[in-house]
Amino acid sequence: MDRAYSKAGYVHSIDSCGMVDGPGIRYLIFLSGCALKCKYCHNPDTWELKSGRIMTVGEIVRDVKKYRSFINFSGGGVTVTGGDPLIQHSFLETLLAQCKAEGFNTAVDTSGYAPGHIVRRVLAHTDLMLLDIKSIDPATYVNLTGVPIERTLETLHICKEMGKDVWVRYVLVPGLTDDENHMYKLAEFLEPYDNVTKVDVIPFHKIGEYKWREMGQHYELKDTPIPTQESLDNAKRILAR
């Protein structure tokens, strides 16, 4: 137990009262590091692994326990996000295992971009996977993220194989991910996955644009509008299939 609690990783930030990253009130842990470079990322300051501060599993779990009454009353739990937490998969696995040992529901918010054996080890201690599927179209996916889609889809398959619930997250970006044909293909692709219990359509926003400027990064979507309510409703209708 002491050895597990002493394991350390890079933590970007913590939010003790998240409301949308899983059911109930969630204790959110934002880990540093990400293999993707999504064009609409609102947390580019989490990309670099060592941009965070070093924390041990013990430090985090002791802090989570302070909020146990609120978390339990709401049917909530602990969600590890990022960046992409699978970058720090060894730390993530240990952190999730200790949270589970304390009786907390666990969720991981990820792109699923990791080898299958790593995904399986993490899922062994995970109740819910929040899986970001940027687009079902391979070319669009690479254009958006800089990496291929295959590992994300393999992660979805492993979740089904292991009987893990999945919430799919889909960011609607005008001109990039609002192609109806692609959305219909995604809906069709997801149909056999009865472990997908929810599909969240998230509107593109520019809240993190200033971070790109501060980092000296070129923000390609500065002229991209936010999606209309009509386009959001249409996407939700298609993906609700």
What contacts 167, CB < 8 A, 6 or more positions away? 22, 128, 129, 130, 131, 196, 197, 198, 199, 200
Angle at 238 between CA 232 and CA 240, to 5 degrees: 95
Q: What backbone phi and psi angles, to 5 degrees, belong to 136?
A: -85, -15
Task: Check residue 51 and give its pLDDT.
Answer: 87
The whole-number pLDDT of residue 1 equals 52
- Which candidate, 99, 87, 80, places its Cα nearest to that of 34? 87
Summarised one tens digit per residue, pLDDT across range 102-142 is 999 999 999 999 999 999 999 999 999 999 999 999 999 99
Task: List, for the chain, all residue ranges whose pLDDT scores fall below the cut of 50.
Answer: none
Per-residue pLDDT, 3: 83
Structural domain boundaries enclosing 212: 2-239
The pLDDT tens digits for 136-163 are: 999 999 999 999 999 999 999 999 999 9
The tally of CA atoms less than 13 A away on the side-chain side of residue 125 is 22
Counting the structural domains of the chain, the total is 1
Q: Are strands 165-172 and 8-18 parallel, antiparallel or unpaired?
A: unpaired
Backbone angles phi, psi at 156, to 5 degrees: -60, -45
Q: Tell me which amino acid residue 18 is.
A: G
Per-residue tokens: 173 = 């970006």
CA 117, 170, 238, 174 torsion-angle sign: negative
Would you give the DSSP letter of residue 194? Answer: T
At residue 72, the pLDDT reads: 94
pTM value? Answer: 0.95
The Cα–Cα gap between 232 and 120 comes to: 33
> In whole angstroms, what is the distance from residue 236 CA to residue 230 CA?
10
Give the domain CATH number at 58: 3.20.20.70
